[in-house]
């Protein structure tokens, strides 16, 4: 019974350690992603340091860096908790193995002593040959063989328990080492986080004295953004209206063709006037073609899993947000701003068709890609690699993102997303970093 309980507890412990290892693996993955995001942010910050005009953007990037470092520290903290749990489980397993090993050793020692004592009083052969009948001799032979096999199994059990105990000690040492490394890394990241926070606070303090200048710049930027948004809204509304007119015209042509066909059929069947027929029901029509509906369905199913249009950091989120420096001032973004490395390209977030490419004063060019009833807009693009009417695939390069040499080679893509004429938050559709 005790052995059964031990085996059951061991199984539970092993499952617990396996699950903990799987969770630790997922936490390690989160840590790697956070470190990659921090590395990318550091690269963008270094590019911005070349310019004295990018302090606002640096504050935003530092905020993103702080967020990623907090995620990293949180994942490390969770990992330490899981490693502590693993250590506790492994320690309990080791104690149970040690106790079981001592019991098995004692039993094996007793069996060896019994075997030796038995041999000293009578030899095995004599024990068998002294049987009163053949049947008794066979039973005694089987007993001797079974007893010998039992001792062999005991010896094998002792060896297996010894090996298991050695493995458990190795596992304990590895987990302890991993915990120490994680704690050291957590301490280092915490110190870096404190430096990042102090740096950001200093930048905010330095820029706060330039409140008037910042407000004027913000007003200009907001005016440009409003002009861009207004133009894009207008063009998309016109595009949708044009598609609707084309759909209705197509329906009208189909209706006339059906009426003409019905008239011809009526003349040919005039001799069968006694036969009644059901009135035809007009077929339901959609504003989208079958292939467009297919694209739209795939687009909707991939919400939260779409590739980023550029490998970068979001420096301007969708919607209304407090200004990073100015108190009681908000910014209202109709899309998201993603800063990438100088020389980056804008890539399609999903399969679709390029419907428009147009210039925007102060914002370079914009490209609209249609995905069924959805449209993604890529603004602040210079040279284009596609033309109107092109079918594009997800991750396909659309054009080069503008590099602002006066602002330390700042490279920012403005991404917008529409469902019909309704704005969507693009960040919710992109894969999580």
pLDDT in tens, 226-250: 777 888 888 888 888 888 888 788 8
- Helix, strand or coil, per DSSP, at residue 210: coil
pLDDT at 425: 96
What mean pLDDT is predicted for residues 411-422?
A: 92
User: Roughly what angle, to the nearest 10 degrees, separates helices 55-121 and 134-208?
Assistant: 160
Q: Say what the pLDDT of residue 275 is.
A: 45
The packing angle between helices 2-48 and 55-121, to 10°, is 160
- Residue 289's pLDDT band (cuts 50, 70, 90): low
Q: State the pLDDT at residue 397.
A: 96
Please give the pLDDT value at position 66: 86
Residue 409: pLDDT over 80: yes
What's the distance, CA 282 to chain centroid?
Answer: 46
Q: CB of 297 within 8 A of CB of 352?
A: no
What CATH number was assigned to the domain covering residues 214-256+291-428?
2.70.70.10
Specify the pLDDT at position 327: 63
How are the residues of the chain apportioned to helix, strand and coil, as percentages rounded to the nearest 5?
A: 65, 15, 20
Give the chain's length.
433
CB 204 within 8 A of CB 323: no
Distance CA 109, CA 111 (A): 5
Confidence of residue 8 (pLDDT cuts 50, 70, 90): very low
> Is 77 within 8 Å of 186 (Cβ atoms)?
yes
Tell me what pLDDT residue 388 has: 94
Higher-confidence position of 156 and 50: 156
Q: What is the pLDDT of residue 284?
A: 44
Angle at alpha carbon of residue 171, lines to 167 and 175, rounded to 5°? 175
pLDDT value of residue 426:
96
Exposed, middle or buried: residue 74 (CB in 10 Å: 0-12, 13-18, 19+)? middle
User: CA nearest 428: which of 298, 300, 292?
Assistant: 300
- Predicted pLDDT of residue 349: 96
Distance of CA 104 to the CA centre of its chain: 49
Nearest residue to 235 (alpha-carbon basis) of 359, 399, 337: 359
Three-state DSSP state, 253: helix
- CA-based nearest residue to 338, from 224, 426, 223, 230: 426
pLDDT in tens, 119-146: 544 555 565 556 667 676 677 667 666 6
**Per residue in 353-398, pLDDT tens?**
999 998 877 678 999 999 988 999 999 999 899 999 999 999 999 9
State pLDDT tens for residues 113-123. 555 545 544 55
Task: Count CA within 13 A, CB hemisphere, residue 62.
Answer: 23
pLDDT at 52: 53
Is residue 111 pLDDT above 70, yes or no? no
Q: DSSP secondary-structure letter at 122?
A: S
Q: What per-residue confidence (pLDDT) applies to 283?
A: 44
Give which of 344, 348, 410 is closest to 375, Cα–Cα.
348
Residues of the chain with CATH 2.70.70.10: 214-256+291-428
Q: Which of 18-32, 83-97, 266-280 has the highest mean pLDDT?
A: 83-97
Residue 19 has pLDDT above 90, yes or no: no
Residue 274 binned pLDDT confidence (cut-offs 50, 70, 90):
very low
How far apart are the C-alpha atoms of 43 and 407, rounded to whole Å? 15
- pTM > 0.75: yes or no: no
Angstrom distance (rounded) from CA 168 to CA 96: 11
Element (H, E) at 358: strand 352-360
Whether pLDDT at 347 is above 90: yes
Ranking 7-16, 73-82, 95-104, 335-344 by mean pLDDT, the lowest is 7-16
d(CA 113, CA 46): 78
Give the number of C-alpha atoms closer than 13 A to the C-alpha of residue 346, restricted to the C-beta side: 31
Two tokens at 67?
């967020």
> How far is CA 75 from its chain centroid?
15
Among 54-58, 73-77, 111-115, 294-298, name the one with the lowest average pLDDT.
111-115
Rounded mean pLDDT of 193-215? Answer: 74
């Amino acid at each position: 019974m005790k052995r059964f309980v031990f085996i059951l507890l061991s199984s539970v412990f092993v499952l617990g350690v396996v699950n903990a290892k799987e969770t630790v693996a997922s936490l390690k993955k989160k840590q790697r992603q956070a470190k990659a995001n921090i590395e990318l942010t550091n690269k963008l910050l270094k590019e911005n340091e070349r310019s004295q005009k990018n302090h606002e953007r640096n504050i935003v990037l530092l905020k993103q860096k702080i967020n990623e470092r907090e995620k990293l520290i949180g994942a490390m903290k969770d990992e330490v908790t899981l490693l502590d749990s693993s250590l506790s489980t492994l320690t309990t397993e080791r104690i149970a193995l040690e106790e079981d090993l001592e019991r098995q050793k004692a039993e094996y020692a007793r069996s060896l002593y019994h075997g030796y004592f038995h041999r000293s009083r009578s030899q095995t052969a004599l024990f068998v040959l002294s049987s009163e009948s053949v049947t008794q001799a066979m039973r005694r032979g089987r007993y001797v063989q079974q007893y010998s096999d039992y001792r062999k199994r005991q010896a094998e059990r002792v060896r297996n328990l010894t090996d298991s105990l050695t493995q458990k000690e190795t596992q304990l040492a590895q987990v302890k080492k991993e915990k120490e490394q994680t704690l050291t890394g957590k301490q280092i990241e915490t110190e870096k986080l404190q430096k990042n926070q102090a740096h950001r606070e200093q930048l905010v303090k330095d820029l706060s004295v330039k409140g008037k200048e910042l407000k004027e710049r913000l007003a200009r930027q907001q005016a440009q953004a409003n002009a861009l948004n207004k133009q894009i809204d207008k063009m998309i509304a016109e595009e949708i209206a044009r598609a609707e007119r084309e759909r209705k015209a197509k329906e009208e042509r189909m209706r006339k063709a059906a009426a003409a066909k019905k008239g011809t059929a009526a003349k040919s069947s005039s001799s069968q006037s006694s036969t009644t027929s059901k009135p035809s029901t007009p077929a339901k029509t959609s504003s989208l073609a079958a292939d467009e509906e297919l694209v739209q369905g795939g687009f909707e199913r991939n919400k939260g899993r779409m590739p980023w249009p550029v490998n970068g950091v979001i420096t301007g989120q969708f919607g209304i947000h407090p200004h990073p420096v100015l108190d009681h001032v908000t910014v209202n973004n109709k899309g998201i701003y993603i800063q990438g490395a100088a020389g980056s390209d804008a890539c399609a977030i999903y399969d679709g068709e390029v419907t428009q490419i147009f210039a925007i004063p102060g914002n370079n060019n914009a490209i609209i890609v249609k995905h069924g009833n959805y449209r993604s807009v890529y603004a602040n693009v210079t040279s284009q690699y596609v033309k109107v009417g092109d079918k594009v695939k997800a991750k396909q390069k659309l054009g080069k993102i503008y590099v602002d040499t006066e602002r330390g080679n700042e490279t920012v893509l403005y991404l917008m997303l529409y469902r019909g004429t309704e704005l969507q938050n693009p960040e919710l559709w992109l894969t999580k970093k």
